[in-house]
Amino acid sequence: MSRGRAWTQALADGAVGHVVPSVITADVTLGDDVARLAAVVPDPDSPYHRARTGEVGLREGLGLAEAVTGVITQDARLPDHRRRPIVAIVDVPSQAYGRVEELLGLHHALAAAVDAYASARTAGHPVITLIVGTALSGGLLAHGYQANQILALKDPGVVIHAMHKPAAARVTRRTVDELDELARHIPPLSYDVTDWAKLGLCDELLDVENAADPTGRDVRKTKDALTAAVERARHGPRDLSNRLTSPGARRTRTASRRVHEALAAQWQ
CA angle 147, 107, 94 (to 5 degrees): 60
Look at residue 137 and tell me whether its pLDDT is greater than 90.
Answer: yes
Contact between residue 27 and residue 14 where contact means Cβ atoms under 8 Å apart = yes
| Mean pLDDT estimate for the chain | 95
Give CA–CA dist 196/126, Å, rounded: 23
Look at residue 248 and tell me whether its pLDDT is greater than 90.
Answer: no
Nearest by Cα to 19 from 75, 60, 74, 73: 60
Q: For the chain, what are the domain ranges?
A: 3-236, 240-268
pLDDT digits (tens, 9 = 90+) for 32-46: 999 999 999 999 999
Look at residue 252 and tell me whether its pLDDT is greater than 90.
Answer: no
Inter-CA distances, 119 with 59, 218, 263, Å = 20, 31, 24
Nearest by Cα to 88 from 156, 161, 150: 150
Listed in sequence order, the DSSP H helices in 123-253 are 137-142, 165-171, 176-183, 193-197, 216-235, 242-245, 247-252
Confidence (pLDDT) at 19 = 97
Number of helical H runs and strand E runs in the chain:
12, 8
Look at residue 200 and tell me whether its pLDDT is greater than 90.
Answer: no
Q: Helix, strand, or coil here: 45?
A: coil
Give CA–CA dist 19/52, Å, rounded: 16
Contact between residue 195 and residue 158 where contact means Cβ atoms under 8 Å apart = no
Confidence (pLDDT) at 52 = 97
Residues 3-236, CATH architecture: Alpha-Beta Complex (3.90)
